Amino acid sequence: MVGITTTNGGGNGHRRPTVRDIARLAGVSPATVSRVINSRSDVSDTVRERVLRVVAEHGYTVARPPLLGMHSGLVGVTLPLIHHSYFSEILAGIAEAFYEHEIPMVLCPTLHEHDREVTLLQRLRHGTTDGALLILPEEDDDELAALQEQGYPFVIIDPRMTPGDRVPTVSASHLSGAREATEHLLRLGHRRIAAITGPHDWIATEERLRGYRGALAEAGITPDPQLQIGANFRDNGGRLATQQLLSLPEPPTAIFAFNDMLAIGALQAIRQHGLRIPQDISVVGFDDTYEASIMHPALTTVRQPLAEMGRMAVSQLVRLLQNQRIEALHVELATRLVERDSTGPLRT
């Protein structure tokens, strides 16, 4: 059963209005009002409309109690940055799913700072929220395990490092996505395919590197260490890495950047060298963020289902909050290649 609150007094002073108040104003029984509020089907459309009109005219709002297992009725979401399109797309999926469950969320930007994130999590845990979603968290395995042992429910989205077996996670298939990107370039005739990778200790980097190397190996190509350069997952890292690649005696004919920001930096550096894309060199990214589609040329990239990752994580967290069993602790969503204008056949 849901309760009813008012935002303007509704003609009843400061007294909290009841189902009987609405029933009297609508000229129906309290039981009928209850059925309307709880979206029951055994009410005629005419009566339903009359009850809802009274609710709207008198400023009444339906107040649902927290989900079973929740006390504060709030959940936390930690994420490195809000303005970055990668995180904002995940956040959009999270916000929509929490809205459907009528659960308010508390946003906590961490700025990629470990100590800041630990502090924010402690505040969230001590009575402020009932659980949390952690996007790309900075904590190590021991810290996450300790948080779990304290009985605080959480789900990790896009883990930075390999979490413990009991920690629920939602991510995308880094390995298969990287393999598909590399195979796409191989089909176009490219053999000197460079990889601009991310930080070496991140899951995304290691798995995408495995997919890249695996595709080359299947094509009978031995990876050239000179064509693999680590960067910081930002556009400036992509520019610097590409400048280094183009200065090689035998530069690559294609670049697989391990995220879209690296790819955008690569496009900028290639233009600065007076080269054409894709006539002289092809570029593939990873993520399919908003920027990928508006670049010139539009970026071929691997689509991560970012909003879907957010929605799936909410579903997992809600089950934890309700003390329900999670069927799969580690959910990995499929990726797919989105072909645009930044890749083309090798020119002979």
The whole-number average pLDDT for the span 200-216 is: 96
Tell whether the model's pLDDT for residue 13 goes beyond 80. Answer: no
| Contact of 342 with 282, CB cutoff 8 Å | yes
The string of pLDDT tens digits covering residues 35-84 is 777 666 678 888 888 888 887 776 665 555 556 556 778 999 999 999 88
Enter the tokens of residue 48.
Answer: 């339903």
CATH topology for 75-172+306-330 is Rossmann fold (3.40.50)
Mean pLDDT score of the chain: 89
CA 187 to chain centre: 31
Tell whether the model's pLDDT for residue 312 goes beyond 60. Answer: yes
What global pTM score does this model have? 0.80
The whole-number average pLDDT for the span 174-195 is: 98
Dmax (CA) of the chain = 86
E strand or H helix that includes residue 108: strand 105-109
| Contact of 297 with 144, CB cutoff 8 Å | no
Cα(70)–Cα(67) distance, integer angstroms: 5
pLDDT, greater one: 209 or 34: 209
CA 137 to chain centre: 13
Cα(258)–Cα(44) distance, integer angstroms: 56
The string of pLDDT tens digits covering residues 161-176 is 988 788 999 999 999 9
The string of pLDDT tens digits covering residues 191-206 is 999 999 999 889 999 9
| Contact of 282 with 31, CB cutoff 8 Å | no
* Share of residues in the chain with pLDDT > 70 (%): 90
Name residue, tokens 């189902």. 19
Angle between helix axes 30-37 and 19-26 (nearest 10 degrees) is 110
**How are beta strands 193-197 and 105-109 bridged, if at all?**
unpaired
Note the residue count of the chain.
348
Q: Is the peptide bond before 278 cis (omega within 30 degrees of 0)?
A: yes
The string of pLDDT tens digits covering residues 136-164 is 999 988 899 899 999 999 999 999 998 87
Tell whether the model's pLDDT for residue 10 goes beyond 60. Answer: no
Query: Which segment, 18-22, 139-143, 267-271, 344-348, is predicted with the most confidence on average?
Result: 267-271
Determine the pLDDT at residue 3.
Answer: 41
E strand or H helix that includes residue 244: helix 235-246
**How are beta strands 228-230 and 154-157 bridged, if at all?**
unpaired
| Contact of 135 with 97, CB cutoff 8 Å | no
Cα(300)–Cα(167) distance, integer angstroms: 33
For 27, 40, 157, 200, the CA distances from 275, given in Å and listed in that order, are 76, 65, 38, 29
Give me the residues paired with residue 3 across strands. Answer: 63
DSSP annotation of 273: T
Q: Which of 3-7, 225-229, 319-323 has the lowest mean pLDDT?
A: 3-7
Enter the tokens of residue 142.
Answer: 């021991």
Alpha-helical (H) ranges within 58-101 are 85-100
Sign of CA dihedral 95, 99, 101, 102: positive
The domain ranges of the chain are: 3-63, 75-172+306-330, 174-304
Other CB atoms within 10 Å distance of the CB of residue 330: 14
Enter the tokens of residue 222.
Answer: 């031995």
The whole-number average pLDDT for the span 79-90 is: 94
Query: For the domain 3-63, what is the CATH code?
Result: 1.10.260.40
E strand or H helix that includes residue 120: helix 114-123
Whether 3-63 shares its CATH topology with 75-172+306-330 is answered no
Tell whether the model's pLDDT for residue 242 goes beyond 80. Answer: yes
Enter the tokens of residue 221.
Answer: 């190509």
**Multiple choice CATH, 174-304, 3.20.20.70, 3.50.50.60, 3.40.50.720, 3.40.50.2300:** 3.40.50.2300
